[in-house]
């Protein structure tokens, strides 16, 4: 699970198809034009190639889509934000693929797999003849390198490893031959195929020196020359211009074909242009300057529905999305490099107090946020999962309805009240309850929601200074700098299975809001045991991260997609 910009939420789509499927080639008439690439027809296909399940399309053209900002990295293992992952998914592939319609895994770089009766020993048969985008052969050595040398390397900090351990034990990944990989797990692990199989495989021949020299975390950064950024995805990097665009071109070695045997992708190239304002993105789409827009704001819905009548695009309404927004308070108890606290001691005392966070949750009018920012098309949310995930949603999760009186009562119980009659609350030491809230600039829905929270808390007597920042700046504050007080951001996921979010729900997880402050080994052990299918429901429905405060984050609304 990665931090989410609030843009790629699959609500509107062209009649080409959806998301990555569109880019890989399940499409119809493309836009634009580029010189035809004839080299692909001269390169042998793998044995066997993957056959995409889609109507055959027309080869050629360039797809243009927009994003709020640049990627932070092209490193498929260290990336943890959609600004990077949206492009990484076009450049790299895993042993398996996820069918977003059926939610099942399908063959990818591996043509098949099997499991022993013990349900702990898995064998993957790799496609013969697959090549990296520089023409080098793809083999089992690349798979072992990705897992053994990178993901399980204790010197490399990465989000992926949280999903690939059981009770603190790594999976044993071994090579049978150049096209066969065996994996042994310490125990039965129900989501194994999805978590192991979807990991993007890295080229050993390009990155083993970076690992050996302990430079991997900076490898495949945005300064990487395009010819050095090698993958097995449908596209390869052509050009990166910071603040302007990322251009990818067809990978002539791509290993997938359509039903007619035509090599994919259909598009000659795809361009991700930086448009930092959501209004401008929508305007460009409606003018035909951008070919794909996967998030339609509620206030734009009527306009898009009217324009869809021209036949140029279709507007697909998919219901409440799985992405969720949350408010995170900085609870870091440590010191920065200058020897000063990451967070002022008085504020740290507030933020770490359960009743303070409960009071904030009671003070927020979620219904008004849904009406104002989502035109009533979303749903209120107090737990980790949105209403879209009925399989895992806990119907008995404690509720935090809008109740300012209850919020004031809780604050008074911890000594926070208006001590001088000026309308602002102070703690027992006379400190005014005041903090800064950040969110990603350009996301008008999230900016408007933050202002509504600011107003709710002002009525309570809490002063919130709202300051939107560039998305990657917000992520850096949350992930590594820790120089924030309060952040309002979202989480995106590819899966409906909450186990995919173990990097968030486990206190030791890379994306857990409190990973720098405390660990809960007993809780982590319970999550590890969730690999056994029959235990998963109870563990995930009642895990602390799945319920409202006193958990680490305050959930606000579930988005319309």
Which one of 280, 315, 350 terminates a domain?
315
Segment 230-257 shows an average pLDDT of 97
Long-range contacts, stretch 69-73, CB < 8 angstroms, 24+ apart: 69/5, 69/274, 69/276, 69/442, 69/470, 69/471, 69/472, 70/222, 70/240, 70/242, 70/243, 70/246, 70/274, 70/472, 71/222, 71/246, 72/222, 72/472, 72/475, 72/476, 73/220, 73/221, 73/222
Return the percentage of the chain with pLDDT > 70, whole number: 75
Query: What range does the domain containing 160 cover?
Result: 2-315
Q: Tell me what the pLDDT averaged over the chain comes to.
A: 81
Residue 441, CA atoms < 13 Å, CB-side half-sphere? 10
Q: Are residues 251 and 346 in the same domain?
A: no
pLDDT, greater one: 471 or 526: 471
**pLDDT reported for residue 23:** 35
Confidence check: pLDDT of 259 > 50:
yes
533-537, long-range: CB < 8 A, 24+ apart:
533/188, 533/190, 536/190, 536/499, 537/392
Asked whether 384 and 557 are in contact (CB, 8 A), the reply is: no
Is residue 240 within 8 Å of 226, Cβ to Cβ?
yes
Q: What digits encode the pLDDT tens for the residues 132-189?
A: 999 999 999 999 999 999 999 999 988 789 889 988 899 999 999 999 999 999 999 9
> Are 10 and 53 within one domain?
yes
Asked if residue 474 and residue 442 are part of one domain, the reply reads yes
Tell whether 439 and 482 lie within a shared domain. Answer: yes
Residues 157 and 234 in one domain: yes
Given 288, 315, 342, which residue is the final one in a domain?
Answer: 315
At 520 the pLDDT is 43
Same domain, yes or no: 311 and 328? no
Q: Is the pTM of this model over 0.75?
A: no
Same domain, 330 and 475: yes
Measuring CA to CA, which residue among 193, 179, 63 is closest to residue 128?
179
3-state secondary structure 219-257: CCECCCCHHHCCCCCCEEEEEEECCCEEEEEECCCCCEE
Same domain, 438 and 536: yes
- pLDDT of 524 reads 47
E strand or H helix at 132, and its extent? none
480 CB contacts (<8 Å, ≥6 apart)? none
Position 372 scores a pLDDT of 82
Q: Do 239 and 147 belong together in one domain?
A: yes
pLDDT reading at 514 higher than 60: no
On the question of pLDDT at 480 being above 50, the answer is yes
Q: Are residues 398 and 306 in the same domain?
A: no
pLDDT for the residue 558: 45
CA dist 259 to 28, 50, 54, 140, 264, Å? 14, 10, 7, 28, 11
Q: Quick one: 129 and 220 in the same domain?
A: yes
CA dist 441 to 244, 377, 492, Å? 17, 22, 18
Q: Are 141 and 208 in contact (CB under 8 A)?
A: no
- Cis peptide bond prior to 550, omega within 30° of 0: yes
- pLDDT tens per residue across span 4-41: 333 222 222 222 222 333 333 343 333 443 333 445 56
Encode pLDDT of 517-551 as tens digits. Answer: 444 444 444 445 545 554 555 444 444 444 444 44
Instruction: For residue range 414-444, list pLDDT tens digits in order.
Output: 999 999 999 999 999 999 999 999 999 988 8
Share of the chain above pLDDT 90, in %: 56
pLDDT at 254 over 50: yes
Structural contact between residues 70 and 244, judged by C-beta atoms closer than 8 angstroms: no
Those residues with Cβ within 8 angstroms of residue 129's Cβ, 6 or more apart along the chain or in another chain: 44, 45, 46, 47, 255
Instruction: Kindly report, residue by residue over 98-141, the tens digit of the pLDDT.
Output: 887 777 899 999 999 999 999 999 999 999 999 999 999 999 99
The verdict on 297 and 358 lying in the same domain is no
What are the residues whose beta carbons fall under 8 Å from the beta carbon of 438, sequence distance 6 or more?
467, 468, 469, 474, 477, 484, 486, 487, 488
pLDDT single digits (tens) 390-408: 566 666 676 788 999 999 9
Other C-beta atoms lying within 10 Å of the C-beta of residue 398: 12
Q: Which of 124, 232, 139, 107 has its CA nearest to residue 171?
A: 124
* Structural contact between residues 315 and 33, judged by C-beta atoms closer than 8 angstroms: no
CATH number assigned to the domain comprising residue 456: 3.10.105.10
**460: phi then psi, degrees, rounded to nearest 5:** -80, -20
Whole-number pLDDT of residue 236? 98
Tokens of 90: 């076009």
Q: For the chain, how many structural domains are there in total?
A: 2
**Listed residues 283, 315, 347: the one ending a domain:** 315
């Amino acid at each position: 699970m990665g931090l989410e910009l609030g843009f790629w939420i699959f609500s509107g789509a062209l009649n080409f198809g959806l998301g990555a499927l569109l880019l890989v080639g399940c499409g119809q008439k493309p836009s634009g034009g580029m010189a035809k690439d004839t080299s692909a027809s001269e390169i042998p296909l793998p044995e066997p190639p993957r056959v995409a399940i889609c109507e055959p399309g027309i080869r050629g053209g360039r797809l243009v889509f927009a994003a709020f900002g640049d990627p932070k990295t092209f490193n498929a293992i260290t990336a943890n934000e959609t600004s990077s992952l949206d492009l990484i998914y076009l450049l790299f592939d895993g042993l398996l693929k996820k069918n977003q319609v059926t939610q099942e895994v399908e063959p990818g770089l591996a043509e098949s797999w099997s499991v022993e009766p013990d349900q702990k020993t898995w064998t993957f048969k790799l496609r013969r003849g697959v090549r990296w985008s520089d023409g080098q052969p793809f083999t089992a050595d690349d798979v072992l390198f990705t897992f053994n040398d990178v993901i399980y390397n204790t010197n490399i900090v990465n989000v992926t490893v949280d999903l690939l351990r059981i009770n603190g034990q790594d999976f044993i990944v071994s090579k049978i031959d150049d096209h066969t990989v065996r994996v042994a797990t310490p125990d039965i692990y129900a989501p194994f195929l999805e978590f192991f199989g979807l990991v993007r495989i890295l080229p050993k021949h390009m990155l083993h020196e970076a690992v050996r020299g302990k430079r991997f975390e900076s490898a495949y950064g945005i300064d990487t020359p395009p010819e050095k950024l090698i993958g097995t995805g449908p596209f390869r990097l052509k050009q990166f211009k910071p603040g302007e665009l990322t251009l990818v071109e067809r990978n002539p070695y791509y290993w997938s074909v359509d039903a007619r045997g035509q090599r994919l992708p259909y598009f000659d190239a795809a361009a991700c242009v930086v448009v930092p304002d959501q209004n401008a993105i929508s305007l460009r789409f409606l003018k035909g300057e951008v070919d794909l827009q996967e998030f339609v704001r509620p206030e734009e819905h009527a306009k898009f529905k009217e324009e869809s009548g021209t036949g140029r695009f279709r507007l697909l309404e998919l219901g409440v999305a799985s992405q969720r927004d949350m408010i995170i308070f900085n609870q870091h108890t440590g010191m920065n490099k200058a020897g000063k606290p990451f967070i002022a001691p008085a504020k740290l005392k507030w933020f770490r107090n359960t009743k303070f966070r409960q009071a904030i949750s009671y003070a927020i009018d979620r219904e008004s946020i849904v009406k104002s920012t989502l035109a009533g098309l979303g749903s209120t949310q107090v737990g980790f999962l949105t209403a879209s995930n009925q399989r895992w949603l806990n119907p008995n999760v404690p509720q935090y309805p809008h109740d300012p009186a209850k919020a004031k009562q809780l604050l008074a119980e911890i000594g926070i009240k208006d001590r001088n009659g000026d309308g602002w609350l102070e703690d027992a030491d006379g400190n005014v309850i005041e903090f800064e809230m950040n969110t990603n600039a350009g996301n008008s829905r999230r900016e408007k929601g933050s202002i509504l929270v600011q107003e709710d808390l002002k009525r309570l007597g809490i002063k919130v200074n709202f300051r939107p920042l560039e998305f990657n700046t917000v992520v850096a504050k949350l992930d590594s700098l820790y120089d924030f007080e309060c952040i309002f951001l979202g989480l995106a996921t590819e899966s409906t299975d909450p186990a995919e979010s173990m990097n968030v729900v486990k206190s030791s997880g890379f994306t857990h809001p409190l990973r720098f402050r405390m660990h809960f080994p007993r809780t982590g052990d319970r999550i590890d045991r969730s690999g056994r299918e029959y235990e998963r429901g109870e563990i995930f429905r009642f895990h602390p991260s799945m319920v409202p405060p006193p958990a680490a984050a305050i959930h606000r609304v579930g988005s319309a997609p």
